[in-house]
């Protein structure tokens, strides 16, 4: 049986979606059709939303689950008339918080207030630019400005990890690919030696690496299992020899890898 879940918001929907996904993940035996519906910020959009919810209820033969973070009372009342089972995120927590903080929330006085990611705009853009400019060993003379330098074989996940850390946390992360040439010398490239305390290793299972490289350069020596296995083994040896902490990216998401690296390196995010 498939059940529909809606993440509904008058803003981006990120809070409703993040919490809703976490909660639904606790029900492993149930399969959900998940739909995010951001910017439901007018009575008209709310009425159209009710129709979508009721259509899903009829199709599924059971009522959809609604996770919502809508502030406007009129819009919430319209949604409440739908066939959905409402999980009302804000009202559940705001009244205990109001009591603890001895303060009224914007919500309870009917005024929306966004998270204001925007105050970090310039810092974030700078961090993304830093990741792009210092991607894949393109430049090595700005490593003094880096918070972190990721090292590992080509296509082990360094670039997405650096970009995620830049975007979410404003971390300036460079990355440097360890290529066969570095391996033959069996030592760290000179440009990295000076910044050993900033280095963090990424490694990956050779099977996964082979699959990823084959998407890029099918049937090449670069993508062959033998080559991938050789490179991963050499790099893991290098990490051990040089005492570089590392994570195997194979079974983790970019979010998980990023969070683990920050904990292990003790780097504080630049956004709060």
Burial class (CB in 10 A: 0-12, 13-18, 19+), 38: middle
**Which of 227, 249 has the CB closer to its own copies?**
249
Residue 93 touching its own copies (CB under 8 A): yes
- Give the dihedral of Cα atoms 181, 187, 193, 197; nearest 10 deg: 120
Minimum distance, C-beta of residue 34 to its own copies, in the bound complex (Å)? 5
Among 56, 76, 90, 174, binds its own copies (CB under 8 A): 90
Among 80, 183, 244, 259, binds its own copies (CB under 8 A): 259
Write out the binding residues for ADP. 152-159
Among 54, 189, 252, 265, binds its own copies (CB under 8 A): 252
Contact characters 20-49, its own copies, x per CB under 8 A = -xxx-xxxxxx--xxxx-xx----------
The dihedral built from the CA positions of residue 254, 257, 260 and 264, taken in this order, carries a sign that is negative
**Which of 72, 188 has the CB closer to its own copies?**
72
Residue 125 touching its own copies (CB under 8 A): yes
**Which of 21, 54 has the CB closer to its own copies?**
21
What single string gives the DSSP state of each residue in 23-75? HHTT-TT-EEEEEEE----SHHHHHHHHHHHHHHHHHHTSPPEEEE----HHH
What single string gives the DSSP state of each residue in 88-144? EHHHHHHHHHHHHHTS--TTTTT------GGGGHHHHHHHHHHHHHTGGGS--TTGG
Q: How big is the site for its own copies, counted in residues (CB under 8 A)?
A: 75
**What is the number of other CB atoms lying within 10 angstroms of the CB of residue 143?**
17
Residue 154 touching its own copies (CB under 8 A): no
Contact characters 185-224, its own copies, x per CB under 8 A = --------------------------xx--x---------
**Which of 135, 182 has the CB closer to its own copies?**
135
Q: Which residue has the tokens 């590392």?
A: 246
Continuous segment of H or E residues that includes residue 5: strand 2-8
Minimum distance, C-beta of residue 42 to its own copies, in the bound complex (Å)? 13
Among 6, 130, 164, 200, binds its own copies (CB under 8 A): 164
Among 56, 89, 192, 202, binds its own copies (CB under 8 A): 89
**Which of 167, 183 has the CB closer to its own copies?**
167
* Whole-Å CA distances, 154 to 63, 111, 113, 229: 48, 49, 43, 12
Segment lying near its own copies (by CB under 8 A), choices 7-15, 50-58, 218-226, 230-238: 7-15
**What is the rounded CA–CA span in Å between residue 251 and residue 144?**
31
Segment lying near its own copies (by CB under 8 A), choices 75-83, 137-145, 236-244, 247-255: 247-255
Q: Check: CB of residue 68 under 8 Å from CB of residue 79.
A: yes
Among 57, 80, 128, 183, binds its own copies (CB under 8 A): 128
Q: Check: CB of residue 56 under 8 Å from CB of residue 64.
A: yes
């Amino acid at each position: 049986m498939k059940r529909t879940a809606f993440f509904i918001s008058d803003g981006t929907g990120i809070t409703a979606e993040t919490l809703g996904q976490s909660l639904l993940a606790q029900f492993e035996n149930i399969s959900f059709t998940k739909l995010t519906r951001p910017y439901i910020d007018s009575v008209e959009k709310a009425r159209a939303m009710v129709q979508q919810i009721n259509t899903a209820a009829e199709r599924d033969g059971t009522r959809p689950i609604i996770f919502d973070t809508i502030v406007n009372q009129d819009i919430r009342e319209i949604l409440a008339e739908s066939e959905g089972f409402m999980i009302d995120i804000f009202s559940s927590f705001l009244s205990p918080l109001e009591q603890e903080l001895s303060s009224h929330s914007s919500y309870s006085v009917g005024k929306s207030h966004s998270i204001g990611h925007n105050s970090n705009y310039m810092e974030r853009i700078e961090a993304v630019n830093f990741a792009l400019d210092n991607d894949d060993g393109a430049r090595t003379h700005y490593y003094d400005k880096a918070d972190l330098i990721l090292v590992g074989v080509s296509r082990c996940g360094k670039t997405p990890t650096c970009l995620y850390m830049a975007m979410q946390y404003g971390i300036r992360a460079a990355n440097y690919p360890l290529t066969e040439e570095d391996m033959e010398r069996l030592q760290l490239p000179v440009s990295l030696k000076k910044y050993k305390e900033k280095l963090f290793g990424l490694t990956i299972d050779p099977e996964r690496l082979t699959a990823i490289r084959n998407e890029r350069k099918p049937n090449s020596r670069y993508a062959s299992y033998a080559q991938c296995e050789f490179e991963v083994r050499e790099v893991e040896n290098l990490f051990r020899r040089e005492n570089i902490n590392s994570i195997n990216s194979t079974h983790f998401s970019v979010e998980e890898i990023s969070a683990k690296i920050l904990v292990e390196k003790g780097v504080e995010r630049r956004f709060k």
